[in-house]
Amino acid sequence: MKYGYFDDVNREYVIQTPKTPYPWINYLGGEDFFGLISNTAGGYCFYKDARFRRLTRYRYNNIPLDNGGRYFYIKDKEGYYSPTWMPVKKDLDRYECRHGMGYTKITGMKDHLETEILYMVPLGESIEIHRVKLKNTDRVVKEFTLFSFIEFCLWNAYDDMTNYQRTYSIGAVEIDNGTIYHKTDYRERRNHYSFYGVNHPVDGFDTDRDAFLGQFNGLHEPEAVIEGKSKNSVASGWNPIASHRIEIKLLPGEEKELIFILGYIENPVEEKWCAKGIINKKRAERLLEKYNSSDAVHHAFLALKEHWSQLLSKFIVQSHDEKLDRMVNIWNPYQCMTTFNMSRSASYFETGIGRGMGFRDSNQDLLGFVHQIPEKARERILDIAATQFEDGSAYHQYQPLTKKGNHEIGSGFNDDPLWLILAAIAYIKETGDFDILDAQVPYNCDPNNMGSLLEHLEKSFDYTLNNLGPHGLPLIGRADWNDCLNLNCFSVNPDESFQTCENQKGRRAESIFIAGMFVYIGKEFAGLYKRIGKEDLARRVLHEAEKMKDNVEKYGYDQEWFLRAYDFYGDKIGSAENEEGKIFIEPQGFCVMAGIGIDNGKAQMALDAVDKYLNTSYGLVLQHPAYSEYKLNLGEISSYPPGYKENAGIFCHNNPWIMIAETLLGRGDKAFEYYRKIAPAYLEEISEVHRLEPYVYAQMIAGKDALRHGEAKNSWLTGTAAWNYEAITKWILGVRPDYDGLIIDPCIPKDWDHINIKRIYRGVEYNISIKNPEGVSKGVKKVTVDHKEQTGNFIECLDEASVRNIEVIMG
Ligand code: GLC
Ligand code: GLC
């Protein structure tokens, strides 16, 4: 069942009912100011940091779930309703929500009054615009009252929902000329305030929540709205809000536009006040002035649209499959940009007060956005590297505000360091910026202890080598990519975290996943050394990768697939000998990606086993069979009910590793089958099962052992976005940046006969036409560049041309 449709021309998903199976959300803002907004206008906004600078309140896991946002109420003689349906929930005659690139437009029509609200953050500003267009489509004059509503968060989102002995006494506002200023804490250490204003005289206002709602009422029945009269309340402590009241009269056919601005202002300390106790409002007034006309807002909207056209212009596919095109051209790269902005902090599943930026997460995310924003990717790499320790190990997370490593979670996830190499190489292959390798970067953020980025990468590589176990395979530490495979943890205390609790001292638990990763990344690293003329180092790295490969073949292969790990006692995990958890997805992906077993049939057997044991109609589960009870020697993985999360859920993040592995065996039909199964656009028709947004990936879909097989959780902020983008663009469609040009090596379903790709790479536009006359999956027979035939499928990047036309004939 569908709840809307894709409007590809406008790059929007159009939702046709407010009653989606779950709130379907979008993100506003891309620089300093961000908002989350659902299809019924729920959500909140913040400046830079969702915990410390939250402007509006949001209660997670509320009843009903998505209650609280930027709401409007319309009141007339008949009664009152919300044009965004929530929070009043009165039926509308027409409803539509368009989630676009960085904006959301919600239209509600009732009794021939059409209200369209555009929510957006203009480029370069720390404000949200709520543009309300009202149109009387009736033949009679309409008179009604419009109320706005937002609830302020007292800045620190964590204190705001825990520390009531303080927060109930500190709330403070000012009202000036119809604009409501939120200035809690401003009299002491804060030099920031927020404001909510409108480009129209107001007939009333409220700033105290109880006064507006009435003490016993919810957001769906504010007393002020029911009575059609604001209380003109001035908050003092308790819960400050902002609500404007405007009386409106529209002639038949008449239209009116109101522009509401919700903004964040920082004042220099010496300019905080304009009189004792009165905040300096100059900066806010300037913004209210700047956006007080329909024209100004319209231009800001066009500029935002243009900005996204630019970002999304770097890779455009044109195929016979519109679902594929909309994933690759619009929604997947859009989601990748969201993971760049948010990492794992603020979504409808992550509250924005907990986790910082993950070391491994951020490195992987980079694969998905490096071509869109290479300069920011460069900065990101250097920030991440600066949190690395001198022995090559890494903080598992760091705080985006301070850019320092996070002590509470610390280190010891032994896959972490290697991801940095992968990210750095992806960046250089995209940009050709080898200079980044010489950039001086601190260790553990200590400016007195620096090393070049290249030295950091060496230390990452050596960290694995310095931490090998009895089989010469990498020690797993606290966990590897699978945060829940905690082999040294042995936790019996429900009050401690699996990820941070004291581990047993053991140097036996080994990860075949990290081994595969080490070989894959080692080969890449050797390639980099070679390219920069360090042949000796290239040989050394390659030699270590070869040794690891041998160890994997000797000790890391079961009968038909790669083992997952050795536990604390040296026993096998992910083996046919085990009763549960016989086969895991991660090592099958990364070991084959590393090329292990391709020449002797082991790789093929492993991927066949994936198909046989892990494949379901909704994607590949993480392992099989699911653990049915908690196992001390395995940790958190066995704590989840069968079929959820790491315990045999379809953990979408690692499905693309299998897609990529399949392309290395040339099996394009399989690779694409796996792609299609989890790509959200293909799940639109089963939205009642999948339940989450059909335009973005979710971290997890319940596996075959779960009662609700096929149901997704945790949409938006997941490494799934970057890896699927990697799999489809570089390995299935097969356009891969290399150090000095593009490799074109598609691996597609046999029945695809033609694809066109436009790739902007280092400033040159490559128009690539791929033809498949013989119906093969892989293999390139002929390549012409600007009508000249060339040997091989490597397109050297020569910058004298600005456009190149490439024809590739498969066969
Ligand atoms: C979460 C984490 C990621 C981890 C994965 C598997 O998505 O953000 O770092 O690799 O779970 O446990
Ligand atoms: C839990 C989740 C896992 C996540 C980890 C770290 O263990 O299952 O997906 O990576 O928490 O936050």
* Rounded-to-integer distance, Cα 36 and Cα 580, Å: 40
Is 748 among the domain residues? Answer: yes
Which of residues 279, 310, 341 is at a domain's end?
Answer: 310
Cis peptide bond N-terminal to 374, omega within 30: no
Judged on CB neighbours under 10 Å (0-12, 13-18, 19+), 158 is middle
**Amino acid letter for position 245:** R
Contact present, 44 and 69 (Cβ < 8 Å)? yes
Q: 373 C-alpha vs ligand 1 centroid, how far in Å? A: 24
pLDDT in tens, 735-781: 999 999 999 999 999 999 999 999 999 999 999 999 999 999 999 99
Ligand nearest to the CA of 339: 1
Instruction: Please spell the DSSP secondary structure of 625-694, one letter per residue.
Output: SPP-S--TTTGGGGGSPTTSTTTT-EEGGGHHHHHHHHHHTT-HHHHHHHHHHH-GGGGGGGHHHH-S-T
- Whose CA is closest to atom 4 on ligand 2? 483
Ligand nearest to the CA of 653: 1
Ligand nearest to the CA of 647: 2
CATH assignment of the domain containing 41 = 2.70.98.40
Q: What is the pLDDT of residue 440?
A: 98
- Whose CA is closest to atom 11 on ligand 1? 483
Cβ(636) – ligand 2 distance below 6 Å: yes
Q: What is the pLDDT of residue 151?
A: 98
Q: How far is CA 754 from the centre of its chain?
A: 31
Cβ(484) – ligand 2 distance below 6 Å: yes
* Rounded-to-integer distance, Cα 55 and Cα 654, Å: 36
Cβ(54) – ligand 2 distance below 6 Å: no
Cβ(721) – ligand 1 distance below 6 Å: no
Dihedral angle at the C-alpha atoms of 658, 662, 665, 669, nearest 10 degrees? 170
Structure tokens given for 622: 């993480």
Contact present, 338 and 368 (Cβ < 8 Å)? no
Structure tokens given for 150: 């937002």
- Whose CA is closest to atom 5 on ligand 2? 483
- Whose CA is closest to atom 10 on ligand 1? 481
Contact present, 700 and 713 (Cβ < 8 Å)? yes
Contact present, 22 and 38 (Cβ < 8 Å)? no
- Whose CA is closest to atom 3 on ligand 2? 483
Which ligand 1 atom sits closest to the C-alpha of 714? 7
Q: What is the pLDDT of residue 399?
A: 86
Residue bearing tokens 């995209």:
430
Which ligand 2 atom sits closest to the C-alpha of 344? 12
338: enclosing H helix or E strand: helix 332-342
Q: 249 C-alpha vs ligand 2 centroid, how far in Å? A: 54
Closest CA to 513 of 635, 396, 419, 420: 419
Which ligand 2 atom sits closest to the C-alpha of 498? 7
- Whose CA is closest to atom 7 on ligand 1? 718
Cβ(480) – ligand 2 distance below 6 Å: no
Ramachandran class of 120: left when φ > 0, alpha when ψ lies in -120 to 50, beta otherwise: beta
Closest CA to 640 of 588, 680, 700, 697: 700
Contact present, 529 and 541 (Cβ < 8 Å)? yes
Q: What is the mean pLDDT of the chain?
A: 97
DSSP 706: S
Structure tokens given for 671: 């690779």
Q: What is the pLDDT of residue 402?
A: 86
Cβ(646) – ligand 1 distance below 6 Å: yes
- Whose CA is closest to atom 11 on ligand 2? 483
Which of residues 295, 310, 325 is at a domain's end?
Answer: 310
* Rounded-to-integer distance, Cα 392 and Cα 350, Å: 30
* Rounded-to-integer distance, Cα 86 and Cα 71, Å: 8
Which ligand 1 atom sits closest to the C-alpha of 483? 12
Ligand nearest to the CA of 482: 1
Q: Are strands 764-771 and 803-810 parallel, antiparallel or unpaired?
A: parallel
73: enclosing H helix or E strand: strand 71-76
CATH assignment of the domain containing 791 = 2.60.420.10
**Amino acid letter for position 22:** Y
Is 91 among the domain residues? Answer: yes
Is 396 among the domain residues? Answer: no
Cβ(715) – ligand 1 distance below 6 Å: no
Residue in 483, 558, 567, 745 annotated catalytic: 483
Cβ(415) – ligand 2 distance below 6 Å: no
Which of residues 310, 340, 375 is at a domain's end?
Answer: 310
Is 407 among the domain residues? Answer: no
Q: What is the pLDDT of residue 408?
A: 87
Kindly give, in sequence order, each residue whose CB lies less than 8 Å from that of residue 267, ignoring residues fewer than 6 positions away.
191, 192, 193, 279, 280, 283
Structure tokens given for 766: 């490559």
Which regions in the chain score pLDDT beneath 70? Answer: none
Catalytic, 483? Answer yes
Structure tokens given for 197: 């204003």
Closest CA to 512 of 607, 415, 647, 610: 415
Q: 480 C-alpha vs ligand 1 centroid, how far in Å? A: 9
Ligand nearest to the CA of 717: 1
Range of the domain at 286: 11-310
Contact present, 573 and 581 (Cβ < 8 Å)? yes
Q: 82 C-alpha vs ligand 2 centroid, how far in Å? A: 38
Prediction pTM value: 0.98
Please, what is the Cα angle at 186 between 185 and 190, to 5 degrees? Answer: 85
Cβ(478) – ligand 1 distance below 6 Å: no
- Site to substitute for ligand 2 among 408, 478, 637, 646, most atoms within 8 A of C-beta: 646
Q: What is the pLDDT of residue 141?
A: 98
Contact present, 717 and 338 (Cβ < 8 Å)? yes
Judged on CB neighbours under 10 Å (0-12, 13-18, 19+), 554 is exposed
Q: 483 C-alpha vs ligand 1 centroid, how far in Å? A: 6
H runs (alpha helix) in 432-502: 453-465
- Site to substitute for ligand 2 among 359, 364, 483, most atoms within 8 A of C-beta: 483
Instruction: Please spell the DSSP secondary structure of 517-557, one letter per residue.
Output: HHHHHHHHHHHHHHHTT-HHHHHHHHHHHHHHHHHHHHHSB
Cβ(479) – ligand 2 distance below 6 Å: no
Q: 484 C-alpha vs ligand 2 centroid, how far in Å? A: 7
3-state secondary structure string, 557-592?
ECCCCECCEECCCCCEECCCCCCCCCEEHHHHHHHH
Total structural domains within the chain = 2
Structure tokens given for 212: 């507006």
Question: At 505, phi and psi to the nearest 5?
Answer: -80, 105
Closest CA to 70 of 25, 119, 26: 119
Cβ(396) – ligand 1 distance below 6 Å: no
Q: 637 C-alpha vs ligand 2 centroid, how far in Å? A: 9
Is 665 among the domain residues? Answer: no
CA torsion through residues 594, 597, 600, 605, sign: negative
- Whose CA is closest to atom 6 on ligand 2? 483
Q: Counting every residue, how long is the chain? A: 811
Q: 313 C-alpha vs ligand 2 centroid, how far in Å? A: 34
Instruction: Please spell the DSSP secondary structure of 208-234, one letter per residue.
Output: EHHHHH-TT--TTS-HHHHHT----B-
Contact present, 22 and 15 (Cβ < 8 Å)? no
Is 345 among the domain residues? Answer: no
* Rounded-to-integer distance, Cα 415 and Cα 474, Å: 9
Which ligand 2 atom sits closest to the C-alpha of 640? 8
339: enclosing H helix or E strand: helix 332-342
Kindly give, in sequence order, each residue whose CB lies less than 8 Å from that of residue 762, ignoring residues fewer than 6 positions away.
431, 432, 797, 799
Structure tokens given for 554: 């000797």
Dihedral angle at the C-alpha atoms of 653, 658, 664, 669, nearest 10 degrees? -110
Cβ(416) – ligand 1 distance below 6 Å: no
Structure tokens given for 29: 């803002």
Axis-axis angle for helices 453-465, 416-431 (nearest 10): 140
Residue bearing tokens 């909207």:
301
Q: Could you tell me which residues are beta bridge partners of residue 742?
A: 737, 795
Q: Could you tell me which residues are beta bridge partners of residue 53?
A: none
- Whose CA is closest to atom 9 on ligand 1? 361
Closest CA to 166 of 191, 181, 150, 184: 184
Q: 101 C-alpha vs ligand 2 centroid, how far in Å? A: 29
Largest CA distance in the chain: 85
CA torsion through residues 436, 439, 445, 450, sign: positive
Q: Are strands 25-28 and 583-584 parallel, antiparallel or unpaired?
A: unpaired
- Whose CA is closest to atom 6 on ligand 1? 482
Structure tokens given for 415: 């896959």
**What 3-state DSSP class applies to 332?**
helix
Contact present, 363 and 420 (Cβ < 8 Å)? yes
Q: 359 C-alpha vs ligand 2 centroid, how far in Å? A: 14
Contact present, 503 and 488 (Cβ < 8 Å)? yes
Cβ(481) – ligand 1 distance below 6 Å: yes
* Rounded-to-integer distance, Cα 366 and Cα 351, Å: 23
Question: At 780, phi and psi to the nearest 5?
Answer: -115, 125
Cβ(711) – ligand 1 distance below 6 Å: no
Ligand nearest to the CA of 716: 1
- Whose CA is closest to atom 10 on ligand 2? 483
Is 562 among the domain residues? Answer: no
Which ligand 2 atom sits closest to the C-alpha of 483? 10
Which ligand 1 atom sits closest to the C-alpha of 719? 7
Cβ(510) – ligand 2 distance below 6 Å: no
Contact present, 746 and 733 (Cβ < 8 Å)? yes
Is 269 among the domain residues? Answer: yes
Cβ(482) – ligand 1 distance below 6 Å: yes
